[in-house]
A = this chain, B = another copy of it.
Amino acid sequence: MQKRYFEDFHPGMVMEFGPRLVAREEIIAFAAEFDPQPMHLDDDAAKNTMLGGLAASGWHTCCLAMRMIADGFIINSGSMGAPGTDEVKWLRPLRPGTHLKVRTTVIDMRASKSKPDRGFVTLQMDALDDAGDLIMRMTFPWMVARRSAGAAS
């Protein structure tokens, strides 16, 4: 697929990635390294928590979604990074065995006023489970090069 620039996106554009099977072992391995709370580490301990059973760290969901959009379009684009994210909502547990999907929707776009070589694309990123229910939602501003300026440099 051709490398994507600012001009290749438009408001309302939807891209979907996955499914990507999330295994119990990777949920536990991630938690052991970055979020060692009982509900992310151990089935029995997790039963007595708010999650009612083993589920991935919310940060793991963020990282898995990041990887899916990196492979999906970020790496093969004029990406110039993101300064952060707006609100991140963890809405449902990400359970072992889920076939995770990610759906990104372009909700706003604007060319940079000060730097003509780039623009800003506001992306809503949803993570969905097998039933299509929302596991996570976040919105973030993504900075991406313009094709015209990119070609001239």
Contact = CB atoms under 8 A, between A and B. Distances in A.
Interface in A9-53: 33-37, 39, 49-51
A62 interface: yes
| Count of identical protomers in the assembly | 2
Nearest to A80: B50
Interface stretch (A81-89, A104-112, A120-128): A81-89
11 contacts: A33-B67, A34-B66, A36-B67, A39-B81, A51-B81, A57-B66, A58-B82, A62-B62, A63-B63, A84-B88, A86-B87
Interface of A: 33-37, 39, 49-51, 57-59, 62-64, 66-67, 70-71, 74-75, 79-91, 136, 143
